[in-house]
Amino acid sequence: MGMSLRQIGYEGLLYFTNRVLARIPSHQLRLFFYRRIMRFAIGSKSYIFMDAWFDTKGGLTMADHSVVNQKCRLDTRGTITIGSNVSISAEVCILTADHDPASPSFAGRHRPVTIGDFVFVGTRAVILPGVTLGKGAVVAAGAVVTRDVAPFDIVAGCPARKIGSRNKELLYETDYGRLFW
């Protein structure tokens, strides 16, 4: 079973994006490529640090003043929407696609992930398909989020459960601009 030239070109684009471009220490170059070639909608003063990994073209919307730190996996097949002033720490995995284990054919499915304004996601957290993180939510490092998180809730664990609440008066503006990341 051979691949078409179009499939080969698309696979080559993803290979270049994830294995070459992601390692170039120039945010401006990567940002240009992500916006123009990968068709990601990335807001002003938002950053995607080196070694981010994407599963498809398109499917990412990121508002102003947000950051995706190094070595994150963003499965954009089912779409990811990231609000303003969001901080996603290193090595976070956001999944939007999986397989239905009840399906006789192990059918694939896509469900969007939505991350509200002022959300903080700790290092190595995993966000599963179909999850919404409400405004101001905090996901602790290493948590596995299997269901929606209410606005301003703090969750931790596997599966993630509420452990506290966050101040609702969030007035900061994130700016993670770095020269080589």
> 42-92 pLDDT, tens per residue?
999 999 999 999 999 999 999 999 999 999 999 999 999 999 999 999 999
State the Cα–Cα distance between residues 17 and 23, nearest whole angstrom: 9
Which candidate in 27, 65, 99, 110 is catalytic?
99
Q: What is the pairing mode between strands 153-156 and 161-165? A: antiparallel
State the Cα–Cα distance between residues 73 and 94, nearest whole angstrom: 6
pLDDT band at 1 (very low <50, low <70, confident <90, very high): low
Active-site residue flag, 65: no
Q: What is the pLDDT of residue 181?
A: 73
Q: What is the DSSP letter of 57?
A: S
State the Cα–Cα distance between residues 103 and 79, nearest whole angstrom: 23
State the Cα–Cα distance between residues 13 and 169, nearest whole angstrom: 43
CATH number attached to the domain at 5-165: 2.160.10.10
Apex CA 74: angle with CA 54 and CA 134, to 5°?
Answer: 155
**Cα-only R_g, the chain:** 17
List 60's β-bridge partners, or say none: 80
pLDDT digits (tens, 9 = 90+) for 122-172: 999 999 999 999 999 999 999 999 999 999 999 999 999 999 999 999 999
Q: What is the DSSP letter of 20?
A: I
**Helices (DSSP H) in the chain: which residue ranges?**
5-15, 27-36
CA distances in angstroms from 14 to 7, 8, 109, listed in the order given:
11, 10, 21
